[in-house]
Each structure stands twice: as structure tokens, then as C-alpha cells.
């Protein structure tokens, strides 16, 4: 689901109610209450909610995180990534 983040909870619940698994773009929602509602609806419907965050384990992203954590790069003031 690639919609505005403030629609994710209600739309996920509606999708779960028709017995469909849900793939949601990040950010999943902006508060824990909405996450709880989404998870509850998916559990009741026995469907799987998934969050699309494909870059977390991307080798270049992992390497950049290692360099940042090791302070090899220095202070980060901004990041820009092009696909």
C-alpha cells in the first residue's frame, strides 16, 4: 500500500477484513495505537501485515551504516540517495 501514512491503519484494517495480506510502505503509521489496531485486525482475519523497507539489508546501506557507526565518515549532516 503506497498511500499517505495517515491512511495506512484504516486501509490496512479494511483490507484485512476482506481476507487479504497487506504490504504497507514505511512509515507504517505514526503512533502505536494505530499499529495495535492494524495488528489486531490482521490477527482476527488471519492475514499477514508486511512493511516494505527493502533497503535495510542492502549491502551498500549496511556498509554505510558500519562506516557511520565507526565514525570513519565523521558527522553526518545529510544523506541523499538516488535509485
Summarised one tens digit per residue, pLDDT across range 8-34 is 999 999 999 999 999 998 888 989 999
**Local structure of residue 21 (DSSP, 8 states):** -
What is the value of pTM for the model shown? 0.65
Name the grid cell of 25.
Answer: 510502505
Alpha-carbon distance of 47 to 45, in angstroms, equals: 5
Residue 11 in domain: yes
Q: Tell me if 60 is assigned to some domain.
A: no
Q: Give how many domains the chain has, as a whole number.
A: 1
Is 24 inside a domain boundary? yes
> What is the spatial distance between Cα 1 and Cα 63, in angstroms, rounded to a whole number?
29
Domain assignment of residue 73, yes or no: no
User: What stretches of the chain adopt beta strand conformation (E)?
Assistant: 22-25, 49-52
Q: Which domain holds residue 47?
A: 5-54
Q: Is residue 28 part of a domain?
A: yes
- For residue 81, being part of any structural domain is answered with no
Whether residue 61 is contained in a domain is answered as no
Q: What is the CATH number of the domain that holds 35?
A: 3.40.50.720
Average pLDDT for 38-53 = 94
CA angle 70, 76, 77 (to 5 degrees): 175
Whether residue 42 is contained in a domain is answered as yes
Amino acid at each position: 500500500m503506497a498511500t499517505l501514512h495517515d491512511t495506512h491503519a484504516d486501509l490496512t484494517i479494511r483490507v484485512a477484513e476482506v481476507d487479504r495480506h497487506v504490504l504497507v510502505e514505511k512509515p507504517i503509521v505514526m503512533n502505536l495505537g494505530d499499529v495495535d489496531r492494524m495488528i489486531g485486525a490482521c490477527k482476527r482475519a488471519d492475514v499477514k501485515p508486511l512493511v516494505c523497507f527493502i533497503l535495510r539489508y542492502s549491502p551498500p546501506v549496511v556498509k554505510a551504516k558500519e562506516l557511520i557507526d565507526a565514525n570513519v565518515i565523521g558527522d553526518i549532516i545529510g544523506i541523499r540517495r538516488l535509485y
